[in-house]
Amino acid sequence: MPEAGLEQWYHHQLDPIALQVGDAALPWYWLVYLFGWFAVYGSLRYTKPFMTKPADHSAQQDFLLWGWLGIIIGSRLMYVLIYNPLHYLEHPTQVIALWNGGMSFHGGFLGIISAAIYVSKKRNVDFFSLTDPVAFCIPWILALGRLANFVNGELPGRISTVPWAVVFPAPFDGAPRHPSQLYEAILEGIAVGSVLWLSRRKLLSRPGAMSLAFTAYYAAARFVVEFTREPDPQIGLILGLTMGQWLCLGMIVLAISVATKLRATPK
């Protein structure tokens, strides 16, 4: 562990609270969730002219509700069941303590898919007419979420002596680490979002193309960045990879499988 010369690295001292009035506090992370709702709403309207099968307004309104519930419930449940089950077996009342952190992107991904399946069947609309607009805007929301992770001083990278390493506050060990949250914001968010933005006319005109492109690109970007991210201490590495990397491989397999099925389906 590097000890000498720690002053050469940036020492994280950022405040995770965006707004506080008395005892009521709004963290940056939850502000991102709030912004995300409006971003998805705007994306549903913006992408409509590009799509061959846009969902009607009532289906979109349903999806705004069920989609965000799916994200919050799914991301929390996967964190509880996959990332830290023993802790929550011992402390079951903490399962609903969302304000203490503990959300999984992959769980939110499954949650929004479940919501899209439900709304598409309920409203008799195409599944991808709901997911494509979300896939179009979600990288930018993810980028803001990773910036919020950095502000919170959570999910740091592995120990490193690169010039831009960061010393994160307790409960970490005081060693300089990769600011992997910033890597994720750039690669998973800005880079993926830029590719989807530049390809929006082509991808949005083909139902499912935007959703599958996001799934594959995000998973590949996350897989790469995870090599610099500290594995969850209660899980560690599994056959040399993090849990996040294994889940990303599952996303890539899913994207390829669905794309293959779509290409084989007569138009």
What are the pLDDT digits (tens) for 118-134?
999 999 999 999 999 99
Mean pLDDT of the chain: 89
Task: Report which of residues 219 and 79 the model is more confident about.
Answer: 219
Does some domain include residue 156?
yes
pLDDT tens string 23-45: 777 888 888 888 888 898 899 88
**In terms of pLDDT, which residue wins out, 211 or 57?**
211
Q: How far apart are CA 157 and CA 168, in angstroms?
A: 10
State the amino acid at position 27 in one-letter form: P
What percent of the chain is predicted at pLDDT more than 70? 96
What is the C-alpha separation between 135 and 40, in angstroms, rounded? 9
Domains in the chain: how many in total? Answer: 1
Average pLDDT over residues 135-162: 92
Q: Residue 61: how many CA atoms within 13 Å on its side-chain side?
A: 3
With respect to residue 1, please indicate whether it lies within any of the assigned structural domains: no
CB 157 within 8 A of CB 142: no
Q: Contact 148/131 with Cβ under 8 angstroms? A: no
Would the pLDDT of 1 be above 90?
no
Look at residue 17 and tell me if it is in a domain.
no
- Contacts of residues 179-183 at CB distance under 8 Å and 24 or more positions apart, as own/partner, are 179/150, 180/155, 180/156, 180/225, 180/228, 180/229, 180/230, 181/146, 181/147, 181/149, 181/150, 181/154, 181/155, 181/156, 181/157, 182/146, 182/147, 182/150, 183/157, 183/225, 183/228
* Host domain of residue 52: 25-264
Q: Please classify residue 166 by burial: count the beta carbons closer than 10 Å to its beta carbon, then call 0-12 exposed, 13-18 middle and 19+ buried.
A: buried
**Of 219 and 31, the one with more pLDDT:** 219
Predicted TM-score (pTM) of the model is 0.89
pLDDT band of 47, cuts 50, 70, 90: very high
Q: How far apart are CA 208 and CA 132, in angstroms?
A: 6
Give the pLDDT mean for 206-222.
96
16 lies in some domain: no
Domain-located, residue 191: yes
**What is the rounded average pLDDT of the residues 229-243?**
90
